[in-house]
Structures are given as C-alpha cells and as structure tokens.
Amino acid sequence: MRFHHTLSLGCLLPALSLLPAPAHAGPLAPLPGTTPPASASAPPTTVERLSRGVVTVERDGRVVAVGSVLSGDGEGRILTALSPIGPGEVADVRYADGSVVHARVAHRDRAWDLALLVPLAGRWVDGLVASGASPVDVPLQAPVALHPGRPVVVPAHVRGVMDARSKEGNGVLASVLDVELQGSTPTLGAPVTDATGGVVGVFVRACQATLPMVPPPGAAAAPPAPPPPCVPIVVAAPVSAIKDFLVRTPAPWLGINGTPDSESNTHGVRVMAVAPESPAQKAGLKASDDRAQADLIVAVDGEPVDSPERLADRIGRHAIGERVKLLLLSGGKFREATVVLRAAP
C-alpha cells in the first residue's frame, strides 16, 4: 500500500446519508477491461473519489464487511478485516458503481484481524490514503453497510486510545482507537476517515481483558486461577499498525527473468533464466539463450501477456500459495504448466 497522497473534501460527508453524487457529475468510470460509457463523463469530485475507495465485501449476496481500495497501489488491492471473511479464501467485492468481482485473500494478520484482498478480475485503482492527523478530538466519519450497495456514512469520534488484546486474547494490540459511531454499530473492515478523507483506522475485532478478582484484606491467598476472560470488542486498528501490516505483505513470486519476444507472430515473454527452487523451476519452465530452446510465456490463466511488466501484473493479482496456469510455447508447440506461487526468498 502506498499511503502517500492526500485527498481533500470541501465539507464533511453528511450524516446518515449515502455518499453524494453531484447532479453535474457523470457516472463513475467503469472497471478496467469493461465497456466504457458512450460519452465522456465529468472529472470526479473529491467526494466521488472517496466513495470509489470504499467497497462492500460480500458472501452469497450478504454484506460481511467493508473494505478500502489502496490508493496508488497499482493492483487495486483492498484492505479489510479478516474475521468476517471466515474460513474461505474468496469473497465478492462490490464497487461504488455496483459492479461485483471476485477477490482472494492474499495476506492476513490474525492478531490484528487484518486482510488484504486481491481482485481476480478488473481492478479499481481509485482508493483511500492514510491520514497524517491525530484522530483524537477531530471530526471523523465511517461508512456503515448492512445491505449490498453504497454504504451509509455516519459521524464518529475517538473516545480514547488504549491497548487491547487480539480477538483470541493471546497478543497485545498497542494504541488501538476506541471509536464511537453516532447511532450505529461499526461494520468490520470499514475505514474511519478524517475531514479530508484520510484514513485514521480500520475497524477490527479485538478483546479487552477483565481485571482479576482481588481477595479482601486478611483473606487467605486464593489458589492460582486461570487468566481472566477476554471480552470481545470492536476497535479501530491505527495507521501505524496498518502500515506495518502492509510492509510485511509478501508479493507472489514466479522466479524467472524474461524479455518480450514473439514466435510465429505469437507474442509473449521469453524465459531467459529460471531461479533455483522457484515455482517456475518446479513447474518445469525451460530457459535458454537459444530462443528455440526457451519457453515463451503466452498467457496467465488465459489472459495474454506480451511483456515482463504485464506478466508481473498478472502474477501480482494472485495470492501466495495459489495455483496459476501458464500457457507456454516452445519449438512451435503449445503446452500448459501449473505453478504454485510463493514469496521470494
């Protein structure tokens, strides 16, 4: 995630209303790879940009969380909470224009209850950015989503900063934000934003340890007791925790060096070198300075690739551990190879 740009809003988003679309503005731009509108639309307003950065995460047509598209990421990855996604690795993501794509969990942090989703189809790259302001004693807001569609935005404020425990109770979460929403219950994964649209936190599950019982003065010492129970709570993971999570996000690795090439008018990426013990080597990809002996990667999961940049883009849409099918051409013959992606050493 590159939390480095800054959005600004002319005013606070209105309470208990849908994110507004001014009458003079055109429809939202389509996802990459979809049909563009018949006529050019007006440039998006800052409010529209903010609305585009918020998605609903759904399963079987039911909203389970809200997510934030990462601005400047290039891959259209989405930050959300891990626990509402459940044991499955795939969820549906609904964008501001109503389009829905499948997404896969690419990285997770069980302690902080954070997940990073990679869209498996078109990528929406308009996103949110981190706030540099202190979230205490400033006007805030957060989207709430109960049904598919554009979330409702409600006012919020930070009641305080505290330490909590992970939802299982076995790890300390430092400096979480205790956020209260006006008349609403937080939606997991939803961003808490300041007046300029910068993200100050993301709602996650945690727990708060209860104090052990202290015997009255003079009473006999009680036998050792199990740790006190941990009360489930919803807090906002601060920007510092989010940035640390994203820095630790490994990228999927194929393990080749390639160059643009073509064979019999078929464009692709010629494999010039294969890293030892890489997914490419284990899948049997062949490299050589002799183009007649080296594999030409023509497509990734049926999507054509004609440059190393496009190949990296296609691989980057997948998660570590995911199986990816490569269409290869060598010596005038096509074949398929399945690679299991992993992090680079």
Q: pTM to 2 decimals?
A: 0.70
- Report the C-alpha gap between 4 and 25 in whole angstroms: 26
CA 184, 188, 192 angle in degrees (round to 5)? 70
- Report the C-alpha gap between 204 and 235 in whole angstroms: 6
Q: Which residues lie closer than 8 Å to 85 by C-beta, 6 or more apart? A: 57, 59, 64, 65, 91, 105, 115
Of 271, 280, 262, nearest to 308 (Cα)? 271
Where in the chain are the domains? Answer: 1-22+46-214+226-249, 252-343
Cross-strand partners of 13: none
| Length of the chain (residues) | 345
Cross-strand partners of 333: 330
Q: What is the mean pLDDT of each run of 10 residues along the chain (345 residues)?
A: 33 29 36 44 57 90 93 82 89 90 90 92 80 87 87 92 90 94 95 90 91 61 67 95 88 90 87 93 91 91 91 83 90 92 82
Can you read off the two tokens belonging to residue 41? Answer: 């639309």
The pLDDT, as a whole number, for residue 187 is 96
Residue with tokens 């936190």: 201
Name the phi and psi angles at 243, rounded to 5.
-65, -40
Domain topology for 1-22+46-214+226-249: Thrombin, subunit H (2.40.10)
Residue with tokens 């998660």: 319
Three-class DSSP category at 279: helix
CATH number of the 252-343 domain: 2.30.42.10
The pLDDT, as a whole number, for residue 90 is 86
The pLDDT, as a whole number, for residue 248 is 84
- Report the C-alpha gap between 308 and 225 in whole angstroms: 60
Can you read off the two tokens belonging to residue 129? Answer: 């950015």
Beta carbons of 59 and 89 less than 8 angstroms apart: no
The pLDDT, as a whole number, for residue 47 is 64
